[in-house]
Amino acid sequence: MMGGTRTAASLDDIVLAARRSLEERRRRVPAASMERAALGREPRGEAFAAALRSGPGPAIIAECKRRSPSKGLLRAAYDPAAIARAYERAGAAALSVLTDTPHFGGSIGDLEAVRAATTLPVLRKDFVLDGYQVVEARAAGADAVLLIAAVLGAELGPLAGLARSLGLAALVEVHDEGELVRAVEAGATLVGVNNRNLRTMGVDLETSVRLAAHLPPGVTAVAESGIRTRTDAVRLHGCGYHALLVGERLMTAADPGAALQELIGTKDERA
């Protein structure tokens, strides 16, 4: 997957595949069984939210993911539990785990492994389309779920409410001013601005810079995607972002923990 010309999957393709994967899991584990499993977990949604304001510098949500639709395989030797432990030692404030299987090569098992390996609060990052996935996140040990405004429409508010009722934090992801308005109207207190255009898969840090001026007071702001250097981290923090979600930069590094230290500023950056 690393070589040759790569055509990124469209957002519609990704969502369709995510829906099919969801239905397959729902057939294997009915909703009632999943709900019983979820009752055995005590999610820490408040701890996740608090970790994003643990400053004085930008808090880093360090991500575990095997591959991406735009770049293909990111890490051949992918051990999410070991990576999570390295992130914790390096000073991550929280963790993000890709659980989408069709396009990211992740699984609920990856989330469970990370939960067992670390005490840090954990975000389930996936294309959440249905309440089943929110309950599934709690059952697997997540403390928060990602809700993407661009794919949820009218379901955004109800799913955010369900997450809160289950003790999970909801990080609502937006890409433009209109989605930001919908996120706030849905009651979002954690807002992630994704610098990746989900239609073209292009990345532009100026998206976070532009939207920073529109973030209402009281919202915990997270910048996502395209953050590669300490300079990027300092700049976005200066724009008002409390936390940064970083995946590809860390996953493609020989030593993800050392790469995280560079972003945090506890290790000198190397060429």
CB burial of residue 119 (10 Å; 0-12, 13-18, 19+): exposed
What are the strands, taking DSSP E only, across the chain?
Answer: 59-64, 67-68, 72-73, 94-98, 122-125, 144-148, 169-174, 190-194, 220-224, 243-246
Listed in sequence order, the residues at least 6 apart from 152 whose beta carbon sits closer than 8 Å to its beta carbon are 128, 129, 159
Domain ranges of the chain: 11-264
Listed in sequence order, the residues at least 6 apart from 31 whose beta carbon sits closer than 8 Å to its beta carbon are 132, 135
What are the φ/ψ torsions at residue 145 (nearest 5 degrees)?
-130, 150
Angle, helices 80-90 vs 108-117, to 10°: value is 40
Classify 79 as helix, strand or coil. coil
Active site residues: 63, 65, 125, 173, 194, 224-225
Q: By the 8 A CB rule, do 246 and 61 touch?
A: yes
Specify the CATH architecture of the domain 11-264: Alpha-Beta Barrel (3.20)
CA angle centred on 52, ends 47 and 58, rounded to 5°: 155
pLDDT tens-place values along the chain, 271 residues long: 233 334 457 889 999 999 999 999 999 999 999 999 999 999 899 999 999 998 789 999 999 999 998 889 999 999 999 999 999 999 999 999 999 999 999 999 999 999 999 999 999 999 999 999 999 999 999 999 999 999 999 999 999 999 999 999 999 999 999 999 999 999 999 999 999 988 788 899 999 999 999 999 999 999 999 999 999 999 999 999 999 999 999 999 999 999 999 999 987 544 3
